Amino acid sequence: MGERIVITGLGSVSALGVGVEPFRSALLAGTAGIRDLEKIDCSGLRVVIGAQVPHFKAADYLDEALLPYLDRFSQFALIATKEALNDSGLTAGQYENAAAIIGTGCGGKETDEATYSQLYRDGRSRVHPLTIPKGMPSAAASQVSLQMKIKGPVFFVTSACTSSGHAIAQAALMIRHGLVDVAIAGGTDAPFTCGLLKSWDMLRVLSKDTCRPFSKDRSGMVLGEGAGILVLESERHAKARGADIYAELAGFGMSSDAGHITDPSVDGAARTIGLCLQDAQLSPADVQYINAHGTATQANDVTETAAISKIFKENAASLAVSSTKSMHGHALGAAGGLELVATVLSVKEGFIPPTVNFTEAGDGCDLDYVPNEVRFGSIDAALSNSFAFGGLNAVLAVRAFQ
């Protein structure tokens, strides 16, 4: 198995607020960050709600001289990374040979949209000279490297809604095999642009009112934005410096359905859950909680429920399953990072966030979805599921640190 991997720092930007503390408080209270869209031309859009970061001003958190180089998705990544490093007790530049692996589903969409609007709507003949370094999908990872003085392996991962899960698994592999002692990993996305919203609108998977995962009257997903970043370390390294440890990242599973570009597979999701349990050396009876992918689409919720039941069998009835997307929305490439932060807090502090807006269970949704109110109790092990368009799957396992 190689090095045991522990989690020593958390950082979060989401519709529930900037920082882990407002994120944690909202999970405990069952507070949703879904509201009418702001600062976006919604004319012609069927769906005008989303989970945007409230009252966000980048200059409140970042040096104004840096802002011309930063698309919104990079801003989120930097803010969450700074928080995670501070939380871990590490400082920028303290470990040059750390890794930074950041996932994104969309990249710099605000930069892209501004550029194309200037060219094709406003008739300009030139664009800003920083357009490429600001908008390229790897910009967030590069900026984390630049600002935090990380000189080890740095790259971005893009696999739609599984981007964070894949990034975290890659970081864990590097630590497990001794390539680095410290890794910053997670995901970031900022999808609220007119062009992207219109594109999602045409898929007919967005809800017009709110996000109700696993409910009979669910009407689709709600887009979100933000970043979820974690500091991973080898247990040896963390103990040597006296770090406070949240939990162990016990294992992971990754697979592809190799089936349909948008229709999820029970077998693919189940296989990934099984691979994760195997890698973490956990049995189904060892797991008390799953932070579900839980998008509130008709296809996902039934498929995910069936996949969980297929692996957990008789243990599925006693398993708590919830979707925090009901609160922070579906933040695409950032979703897995935010949800792993939620899962780590659950294991560390002994609470299970609710699935808010839950009404009654939908057909094919027959598990315990922790409806509407937080639940307290000891959690020894938990999973965090990510299943993406393209049939790309990742599941992460978190275990209480002993």
- For residue 48, the 8-state DSSP code is -
Q: What is the pLDDT of residue 96?
A: 81
Q: Could you give the percent of the chain with pLDDT greater than 70?
A: 100
Alpha carbon separation from 249 to 144, 234, 311 (Å, rounded): 22, 10, 20
What tokens were used for 136? 């390229």
Cα first-last separation, the chain: 18
Alpha-carbon torsion angle 211, 214, 220, 223, nearest 10: 50
Tell me the fold of 5-240: Peroxisomal Thiolase; Chain A, domain 1 (3.40.47)
- For residue 284, the 8-state DSSP code is G
Confidence grade of residue 3 (pLDDT, cut at 50, 70, 90): confident
Q: What is the pLDDT of residue 44?
A: 84
Return the number of other C-beta atoms located less than 10 Å from residue 209's C-beta: 13
Q: What is the pLDDT of residue 1?
A: 64
The predicted-structure confidence for 61-77, as pLDDT tens digits, reads as follows 999 999 999 999 999 99
The predicted-structure confidence for 109-142, as pLDDT tens digits, reads as follows 999 999 999 999 999 999 999 999 999 999 999 9
The DSSP secondary structure of 200-264, one letter per residue, reads: HHHHT-B-SS---TTBTT---B-BB-EEEEEEEEEHHHHHHTT----EEEEEEEEEE--S-SSS-
Q: Tell me the Ramachandran region of residue 123: left when phi exceeds 0, alpha when psi lies from -120 to 50, beta otherwise.
A: left
Confidence grade of residue 349 (pLDDT, cut at 50, 70, 90): very high
Confidence grade of residue 92 (pLDDT, cut at 50, 70, 90): confident
The predicted-structure confidence for 154-191, as pLDDT tens digits, reads as follows 999 999 999 999 999 999 999 999 999 999 999 999 99
Q: What is the pLDDT of residue 70?
A: 98
- Is 293 catalytic? The answer is yes
Measured between alpha carbons, how far is 103 from 371 in angstroms, rounded to an integer?
30
Measured between alpha carbons, how far is 333 from 367 in angstroms, rounded to an integer?
26
Pairing outcome for strands 182-189 and 99-103: parallel
Nearest to 306 by CA among 266, 277, 253: 266
* Start and end residues for every CATH 3.40.47.10 domain found in the chain: 5-240, 248-399
Task: Tell me the pLDDT of the chain averaged across its residues.
Answer: 96
Is residue 42 predicted with pLDDT exceeding 90?
A: no
Of 161, 211, 276, 365, catalytic: 161
Of 106, 293, 328, 365, catalytic: 293
CATH of 248-399, one of 3.30.30.60, 3.40.50.620, 3.40.47.10, 3.40.720.10: 3.40.47.10
The predicted-structure confidence for 277-320, as pLDDT tens digits, reads as follows 999 999 999 999 999 999 999 999 999 999 999 999 999 999 99
The predicted-structure confidence for 251-271, as pLDDT tens digits, reads as follows 999 999 999 999 999 999 999
